[in-house]
Structure 1
Amino acid sequence: MEMSFEESLVELENIVEKLENGQLSLDESLILFDTGIKLVKECDTKLKNAQQQIEKLIEENNCLKSEPFELHNENAHEK
């Protein structure tokens, strides 16, 4: 059974915590890292699919304008 996007993010957070803890063997770390990479790829695919669905909906409803989605970092302008 495939995990939802949100479940994948929670699992990724758990993996990062375990890896940062430093209490795992090298083999355990490699297995978790591999699992994390797979989860990142799955999340990326889900996000791309969601973006395509949104763009299709926008295109079908000509009254809306399609614009690229950008994440804004509040601290980007601060130095």
Structure 2
Amino acid sequence: MTKADPTTLFMHGAWYSPNHFQPIMLLFGHAGYPTDAKDIHGELEMLVEQVGQEVVVVTHSYGGMVGTETIHERASVKDQISTGV
């Protein structure tokens, strides 16, 4: 069984929408990497805690503040493994 590629979760800035990431999301998809540009908190929780997926978060502008705070609330995969979370 091979390990799945990480999902790239895009977090847009205050004046943007997920549609602004569509061109790059298509490039990632064609290269075989899953992407997402939904509500970061709920989506990150679902991908990491429910699915067990590794996630790379790409933020832009104000999304960096929101994304950083959300990520800070979640332990990294390495931390989760070492602590049994």
Using the size of structure 1 for normalisation, the TM-score is: 0.28
Structure scoring higher RCO (CA < 8 A, sep ≥ 6) equals: 2
Rg larger in structure: 1
- Normalized per residue, which structure has more helix? 1
